[in-house]
Amino acid sequence: MAEALEIAGTAASPGVGLGPVHRAADVPAEVFALRDTVAAERDKLRQAIATAIAELRALADRSDEESAGILDFQIEMLLDPALVEMAEGRIVAGDGAALAWVGALDDYIAGIEEAPDEQLRARAVDIVDIRNRVVSALTGLPLENFAPGSVFVGKDLEPSRFLAHDWTAGGGIVLFEGSVSSHVAMLARGRSVPMVVATGRFEVADGARVLVDANNARVVVAPDDEHVREAKPIKAEARPIAARRAGGVVETADGVAIRLSAIINDPTELRAIDPASFAGIGLMRTEFLVASSADAVDEQRHYDIYRHTLEWAGDAPAIVRMLDLGGDKTLPGLGARKSESFMGLRGIRLLLARPELARAQVRALLRAAVHGNLGVLLPMVTVPDELDAMRTYFEEERAVLLRRGVEARMPEIGMMVEVPAAALMLERFSRSAFFSFGTNDLAQYLMAAARDDQSVAALYDAATPAVLRVIAQGVDLAEAMKKPIGICGEMASDPRHVPALMAAGLRHFSVAPNRVTDIRSIISGLCTDGRPRRR
Amino acid sequence: MDNRSRRETPEAVDTHGYCQAEIEVTHGFGLHARPSVIFTRLAKSFPCTVEIEVNDSHVWLNGKSIVKIMGARIRTGSILKIRARGLRAAEAIHALKALVERDFDEEKKHGRSA
């Protein structure tokens, strides 16, 4: 058996994937051999570009808005005569259409790859995408696809190929180069596809088994069982075990009940999860339900999703977080990103600045609340006034709905605890029905270190002790107010942090569904002070 | 928040259809592809020629070409000169300069005023 090979990289999208390698091939040289007259080659190229544009438009039409935005950029590039002119110069000089196109584009790509700015360098792969699509149209060779469940290994991965691939069967992405700022990294994070970049080139045979352990920023070729156990692959274990163990409550070794709820990013995830394995939904993100500003104010769309979610949860609480846009989560025209915007107009700030957006979601939540045990979480609350302002929206919209004869019920309204100023002063938020720590943002705000900036990634990790102290204080304050408090940040899904979170007093954890088995087993081996069971 | 000062010179306006402006890019232009798309779409909406020069390079690029704009590798802090010649040149410069000043509308559409 081949010896396992561990390769360090940079995590671009968290998670763990295990599967056979799909080794990306370069475009074969023989397709460039053909050569006709200058006029014919030029026509072929123009035709191929037109085909590529039509394909991209069709792909954009069936993509969500973020993906469509990326494809629009590619379409705009193809529509620009400058690209064609670069290639036509080479056709006149004697190259065939395909060779001329690839030559011109490769020069251009090399220029972008030399850009001083990483964000701009990350665009190079979009141009590679355009290049390959036109080559495919020119040569009739299909764009390379790969089997669902595979781990893509290559220099870089083009956004349109990511979008065309079926990721529901798992797998992952390993890039020799790549960038955490690339379009494909954004897409991977949005769809929870584990991705590790900047591994440097390494040899691996097509079909070899590879473990993408993005949580530990590493890749293991031919992993042994120990590697796999350590990384806990997503698909292999989570479901059957979760299904066997009913109930979302786990007892600690000293007999205290800990509640485990699910974090849901996309309503389609509910199909794969057994409600009996969870004490309800601790956090359903809603920013991924909407692909455009139009979706965001589509009250019926929101309502349908929330109703479905509440029906899934049955009697158990389902906590829906209102749109948390801004920072790294944007819609075209909404919450668009600037480096400062993690601390700008995002979360509840954006909702209060855009009342029409907030009120549409509020009405949908009020209507859905009739169908179950709904809680609403407000993101990025900093001062009590924000909570009160949103509560007023709920009261006003409820009155309007009732006047119209529409059934509506007030949900419990709680807040994310993720802004340090709020976390330290929780007693001021007595009108919040419950609290939930969002440790991802809490950590970055405590350390003043942006989550998406690789140059300060180490600081972000180092935030843990400060976060734990803030959590422990927050738990005390909430208990003094007799308000429920839990955690829905990534720390809660990380086995390393669970003992310290228990010691800080947390008794309600919201975790990624594929982590619940691990977290359950860890908690059952711990006492409530976070220490291991004494034997 | 943004505390960088914008370096700009008064617009040189000529009634015969020539206009030029200089502005510092405060938006991370390379941050994503959208600003380039927005800039070139706006430039293309005017009948005059639009050209840009980055950091006194003495190379004037077609401001209506997204390929050229991306290739110019504009980053935050770059000094952008924009010039237009022909019909509605002054209007084009005014609009494009305002777009760069508004950070390509990536902030404005949040609707601070809403």
What is the C-alpha to C-alpha distance for residues A10 and A24, in angstroms, rounded to an integer? 20
In the set A165, A302, A371, A488, the catalytic residue is A488
Question: Do the domain assignments include residue B47?
Answer: yes
- The radius of gyration of chain A from alpha carbons, rounded to an integer in Å, stands at 25
Residues with Cβ < 8 Å from A302, sequence gap 6 or more?
A286, A289, A360, A361, A364, A365, A368
With an 8 Å Cβ cutoff, the interface of chain A facing chain B consists of 69-70, 72-73, 76-77, 80-83, 86, 108, 111-112, 115-117, 119-121, 123, 126, 183, 326, 332-340, 344-345, 350, 353-356
Name the residue among B28, B110, B35, B105 with its Cα closest to residue A334: B110
CATH number at residue B28: 3.30.1340.10
Q: Which of A86, A126, A355 sits opposite B114 (nearest CB)?
A: A355
Question: Do the domain assignments include residue B3?
Answer: no
If one compares A183 and B24, the residue with the highest pLDDT of the two is B24
Question: Do the domain assignments include residue B86?
Answer: yes
- Let me know if A527 is a catalytic residue: no
Per-residue tokens: B15: 């009634």
Residue length of chain A: 535
Domains identified in chain B, total number: 1
Question: Do the domain assignments include residue B66?
Answer: yes
Question: Do the domain assignments include residue B12?
Answer: no
A135-179: pLDDT as tens digits: 888 877 666 678 888 999 998 887 777 877 777 778 999 999 888
Name the residue among A248, A251, A252 with its Cα closest to residue A263: A248
Domain that holds residue B35: 18-105
Contacts of B76 in chain A (CB under 8 A): 117
A427-458: pLDDT as tens digits: 999 999 999 999 989 998 999 987 777 788 77
B49-71: pLDDT as tens digits: 999 999 988 899 999 999 999 88
Cβ-Cβ pairs closer than 8 A, A with B, add up to: 98
Are residues B63 and B50 in contact, defined by beta-carbon separation less than 8 angstroms?
yes
Q: What are the b/e assignments for B18-49, b being 16+ CB within 10 Å? A: bbbbbbbbbbbbbbbbbbbbebbebbeebebb
Question: Do the domain assignments include residue B2?
Answer: no
What is the C-alpha to C-alpha distance for residues B88 and A134, in angstroms, rounded to an integer? 36
A482-535: pLDDT as tens digits: 999 999 988 998 888 999 999 999 999 999 888 888 888 889 888 888 888 764
Q: List for chain B the helix, strand, coil content (%; round to 5).
A: 35, 25, 40
Q: Chain A: residue nearest B27 by CA?
A: A338
- B93 alpha carbon, distance to own chain's centre: 8
* Cα of B2 to nearest chain A Cα, Å: 8
Per-residue tokens: A416: 């994310």
Question: Do the domain assignments include residue B11?
Answer: no
Question: Do the domain assignments include residue B36?
Answer: yes
Instruction: Give me the amino acid identity at A368.
Output: A
Give chain A's mean pLDDT: 85
Are residues B43 and B51 in contact, defined by beta-carbon separation less than 8 angstroms?
no
Of A115-124, A304-313, B96-105, the poorest mean pLDDT is in A115-124
In the set A183, A302, A371, A497, the catalytic residue is A183
